[in-house]
Amino acid sequence: DAKTTQPNSMESNEEEPVHLPCNHSTISGTDYIHWYRQLPSQGPEYVIHGLTSNVNNRMASLAIAEDRKSSTLILHRATLRDAAVYYCILRDEWGNQFYFGTGTSLTVIP
């Protein structure tokens, strides 16, 4: 499976936008890009996923580079409840396996 690379940690001020980057230079044409987050003492939570086009939902936006070798998760207004570890995951077309990278620990500063 292709691997993802993320910064270990990032900080953001409350109510400001946050851009969480992910590199996946070995992505294949049928790999979907998934993002999950894990709040302290909880299981991971689905955030968003996409293939080629940018995606928006109520939680976040996903911007995918034209060559698909990188993507960015965008939280439009960070809140204290967004403090979590964010995982960028590649999942093949069959999606039957799921391998987490090391993730980015996001700290939100009041």
Partner 1 sequence: DAMVIQNPRYQVTQFGKPVTLSCSQTLNHNVMYWYQQKSSQAPKLLFHYYDKDFNNEADTPDNFQSRRPNTSFCFLDIRSPGLGDAAMYLCATSRSYGPISTGGNQPQHFGDGTRLSIL
Site residues, partner 1 (CB under 8 A)? 32, 34, 36, 41-46, 49, 51, 87, 91, 93-103
> Could you tell me the smallest distance in angstroms from the CB atom of residue 80 to partner 1?
20
In the complex with partner 1, the residue whose CB is nearer, 8 or 110, is: 8
Query: In terms of CB distance, is 75 or 88 closer to partner 1?
Result: 88
55 φ, ψ (degrees, to nearest 5)? -130, 145
Residue 103 beta carbon to partner 1: minimum distance, rounded to whole angstroms = 6
Angular region, 20: left φ>0, alpha ψ -120 to 50, beta rest: beta
Which residues, 6+ apart, have CB-to-CB distance to 48 below 8 Å? 34, 35, 55, 57, 59, 60, 61, 62, 73
Comparing CB distances to partner 1, the nearer of 1 and 11 is 1
Shortest gap between Cβ of 93 and partner 1 (angstroms)? 5
**What angle (nearest 5°) sits at the alpha carbon of residue 68, between those of residues 57 and 61?**
15
